[in-house]
C-alpha cells in the first residue's frame, strides 16, 4: 500500500516537472520569436524612410505624389487613367462655376443674352448626383466660355478662387470631349481633387549595393481644419517635404478670404520648423508652381503687395494693443468704488463676463476697449506688473504672449470656478461695460506667429530685394532638366560676365534677359522673364531668413534644403528627386550610425 502511494507521488512529481520543462521551452521559443521579430523590425526601420508631405491647401502635395508614382512605379495603368475621366470633366465644370462665382464677386455681367439661360441649364443638370457629362454638357460649357464677360472675369482670376489647372484643361477642351478620350500622365498631374483623407505611397529605390531602400510617402490634407491631424504622423518620420505655392502671393485662402496664401504658408512653415517633436527632422522645401508664377509675372502681377499687407497688419496690431485690459496695481480702490464695481459687473452680459474672466489673452483679441483697476485681487497675488500701456508692451512680447505666464500673473482672473472668482473680482475691481466684437480668426499663438511673419516681410521688402548671382544660379540649377544643359548655360553666363564691370548691372541687364530667352527657346526652359527669377529668389529668401530667426541652440544642427520645382514637369522633378534621395539616404544612415 505504501509502495503504491510512493509510486503515485513520484509519477505526479515527474509529470509536473515535465510540464514545467515544456512550459519553459515554449516560453523560450516565444522569447526567441519576439527577439527575431524585433530584429526584423529594426532592419525594416533602417531600410524604410518615412517622408511626410506638408503644406497649405493647393500647394502641390498630391501632384508630387503622382509624380513619384510615375517615376518610381511605372505610372498609371489604363484602368486608373479611365477612373480619372469623370474627375477631369468635373474639373472643367468647376472651372466654369468658379468663374461664374467670380463674376458675381466682381459685379460683371454676361455680354451675350443667351448665356444666362445656358448657365441656368448647366447648373441644374451638372450638380445632380451621378451626372455622366454628355455631349450637351460640353456644348453648354463652350458657349459659356465664349462669352466676353466670362473671359473678362477669367483675366481677373487672382481676385477670386480659381484652381491652377483651369487654363490647361480649357486648352485641352476639344480633346477631353472626345468619346475615346484617355487621360495622359500630364492630364492626371493637372487634375485637381481635394485631399480629404490620408494618402500613402510606397516604393523601393535601389542603392547599387545589392540592396534597396524602402520609401513610405504620406500625404495629408493641407486645409486649416485638417492640420491638427498632422501631429499623429510625426513619430519616426525621416524628413518633412514642405511644399510652397510660389504663385499664390496675390491670392487668399478658400477657407479664409482675409488671409494671404503665401503668408499662411510662411506661418505654417514657422510652426513646423519650431515644433519640438520635429527638432531633429530635416526639412526639404519645394518652392513649387514656378510655371504659374511665370504666367502671373508675364501678366503684370508683382509681389509688392506683400509688404503692404505686412505693414497694414503691424499698424492694426499696434493700434489695438491692450485696449481690452489695463492693469494698475498702484492705485488703491476705495470702499465706494468696491460697491459700484459689483453693480457694474452685474450690468455686463454673461458672454462678456466669460471673456473677461476666463481667458485674458482672448480678451485682447475680442474687446475693443476696457479698463480694469486692481488693488489686490488675491492676497497671494504679489506680482508687480506695472503699467501695461499701449506704447510700452508690444503685441508679441514674450512676457505677454506666453499663455502660461499670463495664467500665472492673472491667476485670480483666469479661473476654473468662474462663479466664485466673479464674486471675488467684483470686490476689488472697477469694470467699464463695453460691447463685444467677434474674436480674430486665429488663436493667440497664431496671432503671435502672424506678427513674426509680418515683421519679417516688413524688414525685407520686395522692392529692395536684388538676387545675387549665386541665388540666380541655384534657381537655374534646380529647373534645368540636366546638369549638362545647365553647364552650357553657365558657360555662356561666365563668358558674358567677363564683359561686365559691375555684377549688379549684369544681373538686371536687359541683354541678360535676352540671353536667358534664347537659351530657353533652345532647351525648352519654362522661365523666360527675369522678374520670375527675382520673385522666386525673394520667396526663398523669406523662408531662409525665417529658419535663421527662429533657430536656437536646440535646433542648431537641423538641416533645411530648398528646391525650386514645377511639380507637373516630370523631367525636372526626376532630376530634383534624385538629389533628394541621395541626401535622405545619407542622412538616414548617419542617424543610425551606419556610415
- Consult the annotation and say whether 430 binds a ligand: no
- Consult the annotation and say whether 63 binds a ligand: yes
Check 140, 187, 219, 245 and give the catalytic one. 219
- Consult the annotation and say whether 222 binds a ligand: yes
- Consult the annotation and say whether 382 binds a ligand: no
DSSP 499: T
- Consult the annotation and say whether 191 binds a ligand: yes
> What distance in Å separates the CA atoms of residue 8 and residue 163, rounded to the nearest whole number?
87
Strands 283-288 and 239-245: parallel
Check 67, 147, 172, 192 and give the catalytic one. 192
Neighbouring CB atoms inside 10 A of 94's CB total: 16
- Consult the annotation and say whether 190 binds a ligand: yes
Question: Distances in Å between the alpha carbon of 205 and those of 59, 215, 323, 574, 591?
Answer: 26, 7, 59, 13, 19
200-237 burial, b at 16+ Cβ within 10 Å, e below that, comes to ebebebeeeeeeebebebbbbbbbbeebeebeebeeeb
Check 56, 58, 115, 252 and give the catalytic one. 58
> What distance in Å separates the CA atoms of residue 108 and residue 110, rounded to the nearest whole number?
7
> What distance in Å separates the CA atoms of residue 289 and residue 566, rounded to the nearest whole number?
5
Closest alpha carbon to 341 in 369, 377, 311, 366: 377
| Alpha helix ranges (H) inside 107-156 | 115-126, 135-145, 148-154
Q: Is 430 a catalytic residue?
A: no
- Consult the annotation and say whether 290 binds a ligand: yes
> What distance in Å separates the CA atoms of residue 533 and residue 530, rounded to the nearest whole number?
5
- Consult the annotation and say whether 424 binds a ligand: no
Neighbouring CB atoms inside 10 A of 11's CB total: 10
- Consult the annotation and say whether 473 binds a ligand: no
- Consult the annotation and say whether 219 binds a ligand: yes
> What distance in Å separates the CA atoms of residue 507 and residue 505, rounded to the nearest whole number?
6
- Consult the annotation and say whether 340 binds a ligand: no
Cell of 338: 468696491
- Consult the annotation and say whether 274 binds a ligand: no
Residue 82 Cα to chain centre, angstroms: 31
Strands (E) across 375-512 are located at: 429-431
Q: Is 80 a catalytic residue?
A: no
Q: CB neighbours of 592 closer than 8 A, spacing ≥ 6?
A: 46
| Alpha helix ranges (H) inside 155-260 | 166-171, 173-176, 185-190
Q: Is 379 a catalytic residue?
A: no
Q: Is 409 a catalytic residue?
A: no
- Consult the annotation and say whether 349 binds a ligand: no
* Contact of 53 with 218, CB cutoff 8 Å: yes
Check 167, 223, 337, 403 and give the catalytic one. 223
* Contact of 395 with 455, CB cutoff 8 Å: no
Give the containing element (helix H, strand E) for 262.
Answer: helix 261-273
Q: CB neighbours of 28 closer than 8 A, spacing ≥ 6?
A: none
Closest alpha carbon to 179 in 137, 127, 124, 226: 137
Check 63, 364, 401, 565 and give the catalytic one. 63
* Contact of 122 with 141, CB cutoff 8 Å: yes
**Burial class of residue 301 in the structure, from the number of CB atoms within 10 Å of its CB (0-12 exposed, 13-18 middle, 19+ buried):** middle
Q: Is 581 a catalytic residue?
A: no
Closest alpha carbon to 96 in 131, 134, 62, 146: 146
- Consult the annotation and say whether 129 binds a ligand: no
Residue 329 Cα to chain centre, angstroms: 43
- Consult the annotation and say whether 579 binds a ligand: no
Angle CA(233)–CA(236)–CA(237) in degrees, nearest 5?
65
- Consult the annotation and say whether 94 binds a ligand: no
- Consult the annotation and say whether 58 binds a ligand: yes
- Consult the annotation and say whether 528 binds a ligand: no
Closest alpha carbon to 371 in 282, 426, 432, 330: 432
- Consult the annotation and say whether 220 binds a ligand: yes
- Consult the annotation and say whether 521 binds a ligand: no
> What distance in Å separates the CA atoms of residue 218 and residue 53, rounded to the nearest whole number?
6
> What distance in Å separates the CA atoms of residue 249 and residue 231, rounded to the nearest whole number?
27
Residue ranges of the annotated binding site for GTP are 58-63, 164-165, 189-195, 219-223, 288-291
Positions annotated as catalytic residues are 58, 63, 192, 219, 223
Residue ranges of the annotated binding site are 58-63, 164-165, 189-195, 219-223, 288-291
Residue ranges of the annotated binding site for Mg(2+) are 62, 195
Amino acid at each position: 500500500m505504501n509502495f503504491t502511494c510512493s509510486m503515485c507521488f513520484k509519477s505526479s512529481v515527474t509529470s509536473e516537472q515535465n510540464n514545467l520543462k515544456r512550459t519553459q521551452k515554449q516560453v523560450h521559443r516565444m522569447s526567441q520569436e519576439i527577439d527575431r521579430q524585433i530584429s526584423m523590425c529594426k532592419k525594416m526601420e533602417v531600410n524604410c524612410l518615412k517622408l511626410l508631405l506638408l503644406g497649405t491647401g493647393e500647394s502641390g502635395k498630391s501632384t508630387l505624389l503622382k509624380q513619384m508614382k510615375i517615376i518610381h512605379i511605372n505610372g498609371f495603368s489604363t484602368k486608373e487613367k479611365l477612373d480619372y475621366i469623370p474627375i477631369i470633366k468635373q474639373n472643367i465644370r468647376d472651372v466654369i462655376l468658379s468663374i461664374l462665382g467670380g463674376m458675381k464677386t466682381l459685379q460683371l455681367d454676361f455680354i451675350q443674352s443667351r448665356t444666362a439661360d445656358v448657365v441656368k441649364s448647366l447648373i441644374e443638370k451638372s450638380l445632380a448626383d451621378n451626372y455622366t457629362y454628355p455631349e450637351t454638357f460640353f456644348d453648354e460649357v463652350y458657349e459659356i466660355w465664349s462669352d466676353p464677360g466670362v473671359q473678362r472675369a477669367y483675366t481677373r482670376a487672382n481676385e477670386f478662387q480659381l484652381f491652377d489647372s483651369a487654363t490647361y484643361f480649357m486648352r485641352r477642351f476639344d480633346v477631353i470631349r472626345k468619346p475615346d478620350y484617355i487621360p495622359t500622365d500630364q492630364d492626371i498631374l493637372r487634375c485637381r481633387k481635394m485631399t480629404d483623407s490620408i494618402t500613402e505611397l510606397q516604393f523601393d529605390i535601389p542603392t547599387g549595393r545589392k540592396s534597396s531602400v524602402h520609401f513610405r510617402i504620406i500625404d495629408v490634407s493641407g486645409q486649416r481644419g485638417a492640420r491638427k491631424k498632422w501631429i499623429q504622423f510625426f513619430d519616426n518620420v525621416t524628413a518633412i517635404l514642405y511644399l510652397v505655392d510660389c504663385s499664390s502671393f496675390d491670392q487668399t485662402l478658400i477657407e479664409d478670404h482675409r488671409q494671404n496664401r503665401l503668408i499662411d504658408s510662411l506661418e505654417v512653415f514657422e510652426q513646423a520648423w519650431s515644433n519640438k517633436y520635429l527638432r531633429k527632422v530635416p526639412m526639404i522645401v519645394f518652392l513649387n508652381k514656378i510655371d504659374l508664377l511665370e504666367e502671373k509675372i508675364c501678366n503684370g502681377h508683382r509681389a509688392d503687395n506683400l509688404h503692404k499687407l505686412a505693414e497694414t497688419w503691424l499698424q492694426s496690431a499696434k493700434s489695438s494693443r491692450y485696449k481690452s485690459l489695463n492693469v494698475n496695481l498702484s492705485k488703491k480702490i476705495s470702499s465706494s468704488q468696491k460697491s459700484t464695481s459689483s453693480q457694474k459687473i452685474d450690468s455686463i452680459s454673461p458672454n462678456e463676463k466669460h471673456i473677461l474672466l476666463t481667458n485674458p489673452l482672448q480678451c485682447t483679441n475680442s474687446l475693443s476697449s476696457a479698463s480694469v483697476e486692481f488693488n489686490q485681487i488675491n492676497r497671494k497675488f504679489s506680482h508687480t506688473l506695472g503699467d501695461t500701456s499701449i506704447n510700452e508692451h508690444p503685441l508679441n512680447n514674450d512676457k505677454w504672449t506666453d499663455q502660461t505666464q499670463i495664467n500665472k500673473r492673472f491667476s485670480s482672473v483666469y479661473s476654473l470656478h468662474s462663479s466664485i472668482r466673479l464674486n471675488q473680482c467684483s470686490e476689488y475691481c472697477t469694470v467699464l461695460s463695453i460691447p463685444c466684437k467677434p474674436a480674430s480668426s486665429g488663436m493667440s499663438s497664431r496671432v503671435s506667429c502672424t506678427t513674426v511673419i509680418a515683421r519679417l516681410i516688413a524688414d525685407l521688402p520686395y522692392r529692395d530685394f536684388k538676387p545675387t548671382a549665386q541665388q540666380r544660379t541655384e534657381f537655374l540649377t534646380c529647373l534645368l532638366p540636366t546638369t549638362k544643359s545647365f553647364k552650357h548655360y553657365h558657360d555662356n553666363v561666365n563668358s558674358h560676365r567677363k564683359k561686365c564691370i559691375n555684377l549688379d548691372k549684369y544681373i538686371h541687364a536687359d541683354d541678360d534677359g535676352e540671353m536667358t530667352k534664347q537659351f530657353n527657346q533652345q532647351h525648352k526652359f519654362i522661365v523666360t522673364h527675369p522678374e520670375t527669377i527675382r520673385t522666386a529668389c525673394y520667396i526663398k529668401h523669406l523662408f531662409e531668413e525665417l529658419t535663421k530667426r527662429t533657430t536656437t541652440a536646440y535646433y542648431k544642427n537641423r538641416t533645411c534644403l530648398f528646391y525650386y520645382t514645377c511639380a507637373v514637369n516630370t523631367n525636372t522633378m526626376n532630376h530634383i528627386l534624385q538629389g533628394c534621395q541621395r541626401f535622405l539616404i545619407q542622412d538616414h544612415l548617419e542617424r543610425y550610425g551606419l556610415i
